[in-house]
Structure 1
Amino acid sequence: MNTDKSKYLIVISYDAFSKDNWEMASKLPNLSKLIKNGAYSTSLKSVYPTLTYVAHTTMVTGVYPDQHGVYHNNPFQPFVTEAKQRWFWYKKDIKVPTIYDCLKKHHMKSAALLWPVTGRSVINYNLPEIRAIKKENQILKILRNGSPLYCISMEKKFGRFRKGIKQPYLDDFTTMCAVDTIIKNKPNLLLMHLIDLDDAKHQHGTDSLAVEKAIIRMDKRLGDIIQAVEKARIKEETTIFVLGDHGQINIRYKVKLNQLLKEKGLIYEENGQMKWRAYLQSTGGSAYLHVKENDSEAERMAVAVINQAISEDCFGIERLYNRTELDHYHVETAVNYMLEAKNGYCFDDDLEGPMVARIEASKGDVATHGYLPDKPNYQCNFVASGVGIKNNYQLGEMQMVDIAPTMATILGIDFYDCDGRSLTEMFQNKTHSS
């Protein structure tokens, strides 16, 4: 085998692992070992909006949301409560080829554990992130959309350690599945998505003891993965990536701007049904303004409402971005406007309750994401360690679109045309092509 290529690549997406976590995480035993024997960056810039499904789709395609089509965690579903909404669960939602499609073409094996937007994909060992809604059965839904025999086998072996989607049990389960998969199946590419840190930040804020505990648990899981690689006797042929998908920001106020559109008649009731001419779909830290096709009057009215709200300065709107500005951020082309929230504020689609609701101090801090990717301390961390990678090498600013072409380079395969570049500067020699 060519010594500067890896036969195996393990990609650990550590949801919400951002720059502000680096100081603590980088001193822990397992991550520090990878850093010492690898390349790293604390300036991995995510995509807009900084949502999990949007970022993870970019990671595996090497293109921005305006190309891959996954612009939110959820397709647009006005008036449907969040708990009942469909998500972008299925591979068919991605408009371009992925790294695992590329592996299939090269007759290489792939595995994915709770990786977003992989339902019904070509992944050989696939336990997709997918949730039952309405009256669906959770187990049947996973079996239908993942690799049935593989999913049953993982559930039989490790299901008893899981407690629904509660943490830390869910990530422990995912890690056990990953360890077993590395040892038994040796996939050329393993994609795994760990969510413990993201949950801790959402529920307890970015500076909490819960966050510190999640980071320590993560390092232990990382140690389990490293041990599995050693046990499988593939250490000399393996590269490991650890990376975040977005940061989080603490919030004090939740703002329901659709109520302003309703006041102007742009959201209304007709024959007992809710209708809309303009509607804001929140991403947490930002919101898409959807306008009915060819309704220029609704667009004018909605923009006027938003500009008025900005001038009143009590609705937590930092800025209204137009299409030209959104092109700069490679945002989904079907919308012409987006709102960005100020620090401390987030948006919500809801039409009920107070328009600006203060989050009770008694609940402690909570945090969210979805904001512009270039906010301070909001960029993500990236570590790559393994075959042919320079030791303790600091990468500069990098983009989420660079991940897929770099994965392909490491595995020694050609990737599709994409927006990103292969991070060849981190390799010990230049036989890698970019």
Structure 2
Amino acid sequence: MAVRTFTRVLATALAMLAIASGAAEASPVLMISLDGLRPDDVTKAGERGIKVPHLQALLQEGANASGVVGVLPTLTYPSHTTLVTGVAPARHGVSNNLTFDPQATNQQGWYWYASDIRVPTLWQAAHAAGLKTASVHWPVTVGATGIDANLPQIWRTGCADDAKLLVALATPGLLPRLEAKLGPYRQGIDETVEGDAVRVKFAQALLAERPAFTTVYLAGIDHQEHRSGPGSPEAIATIERTDALVGDLVASARAAMPDVTVVVVSDHGFLPITTDINLFAPFIAAGLVTLDKDGKVASWQAEPWLAGGTAFVVLARPDDASLLARTTALVDKLARDPAYHIARVLDHAETQRLGGPAEAALTIAFEPGYESGHDPRAAVATPASYKGMHGFMPDLPAMRSTLIVSGPKLRRRGDLGVVDMRSIAPSVARILGVKLPDAQADAVF
């Protein structure tokens, strides 16, 4: 009995020592997402005439990826969920930016709600370990557990009621407390760099309170690259203004927490586009989608779920073999028609192997320069509504995103090479001294 008691006491002491040791090795983390930032806009900034001194300073003192291979689809919400879980959309459940809404009953509802995430997040892992957490404008954080100070991303119409909505959905009392010092917060529908600048002030106030893990999302680069195209003068000017905001965040974090590790990420790359392709019309002509007298969807059997440079075909009856065969025949016919500029079609099994949406019976991948259009009454090909787009297949080098890391606890410095996006969350978890057992890749920094 005495031997067993001694063994239990020794095991407990060793466990406590291990916990204390892990805590001693841990470092607070500030994770900044710059939506749409291409890696070469930092690593080759001089060649491109881009002035980003703050990002380049982080790169030179720490580590960076030459590119990050993202997830399917290469869109903001699925990617940002991967960045905090370490798993692909097939596993975490956030399959697109907008929820699948074939009859448009959700008024363009996005995947705002953290309840859609099916696996643990970094915030939850940190909170469970007794660490304080904070987040500003990160996607898929409405109702998130594990975030102690949360200003989630959500919008509806952009009217004054949206501000009331955010007060109700943020951490209770947080927004009024900060607005009393800083003035009005910027509504979520505002994705400009000016909106980012306001949100950065709120993030700086939270960083002064020394959270162990903070996530901050800035949308301005993506916003401008959609409108003027990647590499345009307007996009470059936005990147430079965003670099200054990164400098402000890093300065505030280091003033409050000198041992902070700064992790700068983006969610996807960008491609210039010229043409919208109408995928809806063939599904309507084939009787798979039926419109009412007002041109709205009255019923559907199979319908495209648009994702920029890709589209996912969802079946109303996924187990209906005849419906799948009929739909596959239609999509194969479109893929053979050069007017549709389809580069590749993936079946459900291949989509799942690549970590894409579980809902997709088929994945349609467009050629660079072409995206899925939204008007079912349009011609097959019309001028694109945007000048830049993402959502293309993640194996395209142009879709690679950014990773720059600086801090005292890095395992490696310098060029990390090409990195799997799923490896970023477990790397952050290592620095925080917490675990993400569901992550599908190993830590790389």
For the pair 1:63 / 2:83, whether they are aligned, the reply is no
Name the structure 2 match of 1:85.
Answer: 108
Using the alignment, how far apart are the partners of 2:407 and 2:308 within structure 1?
A: 36
Name the structure 2 match of 1:247.
Answer: 269
Query: Counterpart amino acid of 2:108?
Result: Q
C-alpha distance 258-189 of structure 1, shift in aligned 2 (>3 A): same
Q: CA deviation at 1:27?
A: 6.1
Tell whether the 8 Å contact from 1:37 to 1:390 is kept in structure 2 after alignment.
Answer: no
Name the structure 1 match of 2:441.
Answer: 420
Task: Point out the more displaced range, 6-15 or 200-209.
Answer: 6-15
Q: Which structure has the larger Rg?
A: 2
Relative to the length of structure 2, the TM-score reads 0.88
For the pair 1:96 / 2:122, whether they are aligned, the reply is no
Using the alignment, how far apart are the partners of 1:271 and 1:357 within structure 2?
A: 24
Tell whether the 8 Å contact from 2:126 to 2:432 is kept in structure 1 after alignment.
Answer: no
CA distances 1:158-204 after superposition (whole Å, capped 9, x unpaired): 34474761522111012111111111x11100001111110111000
Q: CA deviation at 1:300?
A: 2.0
Using the alignment, how far apart are the partners of 1:277 and 1:216 within structure 2?
A: 47
Q: CA deviation at 1:155?
A: 3.3
Tell whether the 8 Å contact from 1:253 to 1:358 is kept in structure 2 after alignment.
Answer: yes
C-alpha distance 227-59 of structure 1, shift in aligned 2 (>3 A): same
Relative to the length of structure 1, the TM-score reads 0.90
Equivalent residue in structure 2 for 1:313, among 332, 338, 345: 338
Using the alignment, how far apart are the partners of 2:191 and 2:215 within structure 1?
A: 21
Task: Point out the more displaced range, 62-71 or 295-304.
Answer: 295-304
Which ranges of structure 2 fall in alignment gaps of 5 or more residues? 1-19
Q: CA deviation at 1:104?
A: 1.5
For the pair 1:352 / 2:377, whether they are aligned, the reply is yes
Using the alignment, how far apart are the partners of 1:160 and 1:60 within structure 2?
A: 28
Equivalent residue in structure 2 for 1:119, among 138, 142, 146: 142
Tell whether the 8 Å contact from 1:35 to 1:391 is kept in structure 2 after alignment.
Answer: no
Using the alignment, how far apart are the partners of 2:401 and 2:302 within structure 1?
A: 33
Equivalent residue in structure 2 for 1:13, among 14, 33, 54: 33
**Coordinate RMSD, CA, aligned:** 2.4
3-state DSSP of counterpart to 2:222: helix
Name the structure 2 match of 1:370.
Answer: 391
3-state DSSP of counterpart to 2:339: coil
Tell whether the 8 Å contact from 2:193 to 2:242 is kept in structure 1 after alignment.
Answer: no
Query: Counterpart amino acid of 2:409?
Result: G
Identity of aligned residues (%): 26
Alignment of 1:32-47 (within 5 A): 32-47=56-71
Using the alignment, how far apart are the partners of 2:305 and 2:180 within structure 1?
A: 39
Query: Counterpart amino acid of 1:175?
Result: V
3-state DSSP of counterpart to 2:284: helix
3-state DSSP of counterpart to 1:112: strand
Tell whether the 8 Å contact from 1:126 to 1:151 is kept in structure 2 after alignment.
Answer: no
Tell whether the 8 Å contact from 1:38 to 1:390 is kept in structure 2 after alignment.
Answer: no
Equivalent residue in structure 1 for 2:130, among 90, 101, 107: 107
C-alpha distance 135-267 of structure 1, shift in aligned 2 (>3 A): farther
C-alpha distance 299-271 of structure 1, shift in aligned 2 (>3 A): farther
Equivalent residue in structure 2 for 1:216, among 240, 245, 249: 240
Using the alignment, how far apart are the partners of 2:233 and 2:283 within structure 1?
A: 40
Query: Counterpart amino acid of 1:105?
Result: A
Task: Point out the more displaced range, 385-394 or 245-254.
Answer: 385-394
Tell whether the 8 Å contact from 1:39 to 1:393 is kept in structure 2 after alignment.
Answer: yes
Query: Counterpart amino acid of 2:418?
Result: E
Using the alignment, how far apart are the partners of 1:245 and 1:256 within structure 2?
A: 26
Using the alignment, how far apart are the partners of 2:384 and 2:370 within structure 1?
A: 10
For the pair 1:199 / 2:223, whether they are aligned, the reply is yes
CA distances 1:227-258 after superposition (whole Å, capped 9, x unpaired): 212432x22x2100011110111111111211
Equivalent residue in structure 1 for 2:165, among 141, 146, 150: 141
